[in-house]
Amino acid sequence: MKALVYEGPRQLHMRELPMPELVPEAVLLRVAFSGICGSELSGYLGHNSLRKPPLVMGHEFSGEIARLGDAALEHNPSLRTGQRVTANPLIYCGRCRACLGGRQNLCAQRQLLGAHRPGSYAEFVAVPARMVYPLPDNLSLEHAALTEPLACTLRAAQLGRYNPADHVLVVGLGPIGLLSLQVLQAYGVRHILASDLDPDRRAMAQSLGVEALDPHATDVLRAVREQTDGLGADVVIDAVGVASTRRQSVDAVASGGRVVLIGLHEEESAIPVNVLIRREIQLLGSFSYTPNNVAEALAWLTAGRITIDPWLVKAPLHEGPAWFERLISGPGAVAKVLLS
């Protein structure tokens, strides 16, 4: 099969690879669409310890079942050959304390497709049958490939406990930031501010009806305080994850408020912990998604709650290397690239 192989920093090439091995409890999917994730951009640059070359990346995908492993139906009786599906790519054990407590995202044995195992930047990908989700008839394969990033966003919503009366600041308008705006709106939140350095990303937020600030031109903290009688935001979502955005998130949140950290760019950042204590600020790490978040994301996409079509780009797999370069340097009004 053809696959896009990450072979070292900024080295991504189309190669001919053997078909994935199909163990009895897995299914073989013919990949339809596979999104490019921010974590894969950092992997591509060689900044991500999880992604070691040579590797077929790709974990946000949809496709059709090409072949069922001999025991696949014992693990997921709803599957059949030819079925349109997506998958939860964060494979968990299902038996440990985290898994049994409904926090499969924290399973110590978790393995991500496209990082620990070969992913979906290929014609075929092998997935454990229990991780596969059949698609409703009215959900397109394009939209189904957004299940994974939306599930991440819904996990952040669950932990952030959005309330319609909240004032919320969203820092960073990559795919997760843009999806967060729509999730907040669906939760009934009306007071939303966003910030991003990129004018195209700010324009996308504006077209969703959200005021988006340029942090180089506007004092974001002052804007937040002006809109909140000086109190600060009830919730701040950091969808970037560098020292400056983490610090800004703490500065912008109200006393007693919640900071949801979802961006993973920097390993360590300085945070004024005494300020957290004296102002009872809750810092919440939000990592990937549970199976409930995945099912919820599928339901939201099926119900048409998410607008992304104007900023969705579809490109053949062999154009992947060019799109990785473009996404790093500033791609314009593009929220998500789906490789097919």
Please say which residue, 26 or 193, places its beta carbon nearer to Zn ion.
26
User: Nearest approach, Cβ of 105 to Zn ion (angstroms)?
Assistant: 10
Neighbours of 302 (CB within 10 A): 17
Q: In sequence order, which ranges of the chain are alpha helices (DSSP H)? A: 38-44, 72-75, 97-100, 141-144, 147-160, 175-186, 199-207, 220-227, 243-252, 273-278, 291-302, 320-329
Using DSSP's 3-state secondary structure scheme, residue 324 falls into: helix
Place of tokens 């998410």: 306
Q: Which is nearer to Zn ion, 83 or 111 (CB)?
A: 111
Rounded to a whole number of angstroms, the minimum distance from the CB of residue 92 to Zn ion is 5
Q: How far is the CB of 35 from Zn ion (least distance, A)?
A: 7
**Smallest distance from the beta carbon of 262 to Zn ion, in angstroms?**
11
Taking the complex as a whole, the smallest distance from the CB of residue 308 to Zn ion amounts, in Å, to 14
Q: Write out the residues near Zn ion by the rule CB under 5 A.
A: 37, 92-93, 96, 99, 107
According to DSSP, residue 281 is labeled P
C-beta closer to Zn ion: residue 149 or 160:
149
Distances (CA, A) of 35 to 38, 112, 121, 240: 10, 15, 9, 19
Nearest Cα residue to 313 out of 340, 331, 334: 334
Instruction: Please say which residue, 92 or 121, places its beta carbon nearer to Zn ion.
Output: 92
Looking at the Cβ atoms of 88 and 228, the one nearer to Zn ion is 88
